[in-house]
Structure 1
Amino acid sequence: EWFACDHVDTAPDIILIAKAIASGFPMSATVGKAELMDSEVDTRAWRSGAHGSTFGGNPVISAAGIASLKIIEDGLIQNATEVGSFIKEKLIEMMDRHAIIGEVRGLGLMIGIELVRDKKSKEYFPNDVTENGKNIKEVITGECFKHGLILYGAGISSLRILPPLMITKDDADAALEIIEEVITNVEKQLS
């Protein structure tokens, strides 16, 4: 399942693809149903080149796209599914040990941790909960960064875990150890 829509039983007419399709090189694609895209099926459809540009077909970018597709087809999506499930399971176990982890959610390797002051009420921490006036997510992401782990904040009180699709279980486990150590230390400071 390459796209988020594949997980929710949705069949879009058109999908726009970019970024990962060429491993960060500037490439994109517009993929659609034949009746929308094939001028032999419908003369009102997009004709070949109708949405192109003067930079279209760059050989370096095209080579990057082909190489990226080969890597994806060689098990990258399966790895993302397996390691994502592994991370989520470990975070759910961690949630039982830590009062400030209110929820773990996600799909594949896009995972979120909701930080809460109270698990029952799901009350968020105020923005200036720490001694230095920082939000709890800023403290955790900053401390994780000091340990070599990049996490992102999201929303009012969430952490986003977005590792590369080729992450191994060993690397994921090392990252989870950092997250747990940092959360343990933050909880000690809060008590």
Structure 2
Amino acid sequence: MNIVAAELVKSAAELAQCPAERFPEVALAGRSNVGKSSLLNCLANRKNLARTSKTPGRTRTINFYLINRRFYLVDLPGYGYAEVSREEREKWGPLIEGYLSQRGTLAGVVQIVDIRHPPTEMDLQLYRWLQHYRIRAAVVATKADKISRGQVARSLQVIREAMALESGVPLVAFSAVTREGRAELLKIIAGWIS
């Protein structure tokens, strides 16, 4: 898939603000500090499409990016230790769960984890939740450029075992710096939206 157009179309703080269900949607979900914005920018071939930040938890709305005028990449608020009020974080749970369970155009979820660390309990909960609702998923392990080649294979094995990934669930090592995994992930997304 060749991405030639990408634009932020809508930011939704509640489900009623989501755009009409016109195009297939691929959601990006992961912890607050896992590199979702960098992954989105890399996929879209844009430096600043999604704002990146050193401070976790900057994405506080569901952001809809229209890609090639054919589908949305949907950036969900990060979960985990974001430096926001507990009240704010508690609002995100129902927002994310409502989006994932009610969106008729959701084609799949890219669950993002950090390749340098074993999956957290929240990562495991999200994956089990996606399984329960039979939502197509791929797991992407970001920041692959920060560890050695040999460590990448070992880390992927740890992630696969810890999450008890089913055999058909793709697990992709990804780096926004080197673009490793980009072509593989775009191929997965293309299969979901076709």
Pair in the same fold by TM > 0.5: no
Greater per-residue helix proportion:
1
TM-score normalized by the length of structure 2: 0.24
More relative contact order in 1 or in 2 (CA 8 Å, sep 6+)? 2
Higher strand share: 2
Larger radius of gyration: 1
